[in-house]
Structure 1
């Protein structure tokens, strides 16, 4: 049975969230949380597939994106605020709990839901970004850099250099993306390249280059048809042009607040529910195959399943069949009673 994907809006006193829904309203709930600089649309290959398997599938536009509210202060994009958005969404759906699935910046959101609200979490899955109980912060990530690939004297911040660029040159970062949004979308959403594995990621050289694109507008490259259709590209471009990059980029401006929030997690940040982590074999920024980035997750998750997907960073869009298979297998193996419910 196929289900249509429908658009919805939740308005509360504190925030408006636009979201996509698919599947029976009384089915067990999966909530898919996108990252930077995406949309609910980035889960387009997952929503109908899991609705057909018997789930109610929800994908919100996150704070600062798409049809959801954006704000003018960096602190309005701290993780604690974003988690509150998701709790409001969950309550509006008439459900006590969900399986939370995140990618990129959506991963810290679902990890925080699991760590701070285990009573609202049946299970948690993440694409590309592993769990860090200290928070997805520079203080937590820099010590885990692969120093064989990123010698400290040349690459003090390793692949996380671009995050320091936001802190030091925020306006310049936003301006660089906004100079030609369509070109940015085409340049970012590309499939993984196995030949880049073992080489420094472009994100490690942003400050030296004076910006993402050498301080100017993004150059024009062909659209990668293996990741985006023309229609997908137009939708991303329109949404990011309308909202601008202040909101999306502000997610990177709350390391201190996010670290403080992580310290208040339940159970000392240990996760007891079933956890799935999907490694991107060709993801050179969130590189988890050779570095120590995934080690804290292995220590702090009691019931962890790991799967390697032969993809780059935009895994759900580049390799949807493999991602869907890994998620379905994990749900069947670890949460069979929830599926049947």
Structure 2
């Protein structure tokens, strides 16, 4: 059976969340959480597939994106507030728990829901960004940098240099993206390159080069049709043009607050529920195949399944069949009682 993907909105006194829905309303709930600089649209290959398998699938536009509220202060994009948005969404759906699935900045959100609200988490899955109990912060990730690829003298913070650029030159970072948003979308949403593995990634030299694009607007490159269609490109461009990059980029401006929030996790940050992690074999920023970035997750997750997907960072869009297969296999193996067909 095929289900349409429909648009909805949840409004509370504190926040508005626009979201996409697909599948029978009373079916077991999967909530898909996107990252930077994306949209609910990023899960377009997953929503109908899992609706057809018997799930109610929800994909929100996150705070600062699409049809959801955006704000004017950096601190309004801290993880604790974003988790509260998701709990309001869950309540508005009339549910008390879900399987949470995240990618990129959506991953810290679902990890934080699992660690702070295990009673609302049937299972948790993440694409590209592993669980870090102490928080997805520079203090956590820099010590895990692969120093064979990023010698400390040349790359003191490794591939996470771009996050320091936001902290030091926030307005310049936003202006660089806003100079030509369509070109940014085309430049970002590209498939992974196996030849890039083992070499320093672009994100390691952002401060040295004066910005993402050398300090100017993004140059024009061909759209990568293996990742996004013309219509996808226009949807991302329109949403980012309407809201700008202040909100999306502000997610990077809360390392201290996010670390403090992580310290208040239940069970000392240990996760007992089933966990799925999908490694991007060609993801040079969230590089988990050769570095120690995924090691803390292996220590802190009691029921962890790991799968390697031969993709770059935009995994759900580049390799949707592999992602869907891994998710479906994990749901069937680890959560058979939740999957009622």
Taking structure 2 as the reference length, what is the TM-score of the superposition? Answer: 1.00
Which residue of structure 1 aligns with residue 41 of structure 2?
Answer: 41
Q: How does 1:148-167 map to 2 (within 5 A)?
A: 148-167=148-167
Which residue of structure 2 aligns with residue 336 of structure 1?
Answer: 336
Following superposition, the deviation at residue 340 of structure 1 comes to: 1.5
Distance in structure 2 (CA, Å) of the matches to 1:142 and 1:321: 32
Structure 2, unaligned stretches of length 5 or more?
none
Which residue of structure 2 aligns with residue 10 of structure 1?
Answer: 10
Following superposition, the deviation at residue 151 of structure 1 comes to: 0.4
Which residue of structure 2 aligns with residue 202 of structure 1?
Answer: 202
Which residue of structure 2 aligns with residue 228 of structure 1?
Answer: 228
Which residue of structure 2 aligns with residue 110 of structure 1?
Answer: 110
Give the 4+ runs in structure 1 shifted more than 4 A.
Answer: none
Q: How does 1:310-321 map to 2 (within 5 A)?
A: 310-321=310-321
Which residue of structure 2 aligns with residue 271 of structure 1?
Answer: 271
Which residue of structure 2 aligns with residue 65 of structure 1?
Answer: 65
Taking structure 1 as the reference length, what is the TM-score of the superposition? Answer: 1.00
Distance in structure 1 (CA, Å) of the matches to 2:15 and 2:199: 42
What are the Cα deviations for residues 94-146 of structure 1, in whole angstroms up to 9, with x where unaligned? Answer: 00100000000000000000000000000000000000000000000000000
Q: How does 1:189-338 map to 2 (within 5 A)?
A: 189-338=189-338
Distance in structure 1 (CA, Å) of the matches to 2:65 and 2:230: 20
Distance in structure 1 (CA, Å) of the matches to 2:137 and 2:155: 18
SS in structure 2 opposite 1:337?
A: coil
Which residue of structure 1 aligns with residue 119 of structure 2?
Answer: 119
Q: Report how many aligned residue pairs link the two structures.
A: 341
Following superposition, the deviation at residue 319 of structure 1 comes to: 0.2
Distance in structure 1 (CA, Å) of the matches to 2:194 and 2:263: 37
Which residue of structure 2 aligns with residue 97 of structure 1?
Answer: 97
Following superposition, the deviation at residue 40 of structure 1 comes to: 0.0
Distance in structure 2 (CA, Å) of the matches to 1:162 and 1:222: 24
SS in structure 1 opposite 2:276?
A: strand
Following superposition, the deviation at residue 194 of structure 1 comes to: 0.5
Structure 1, unaligned stretches of length 5 or more?
none
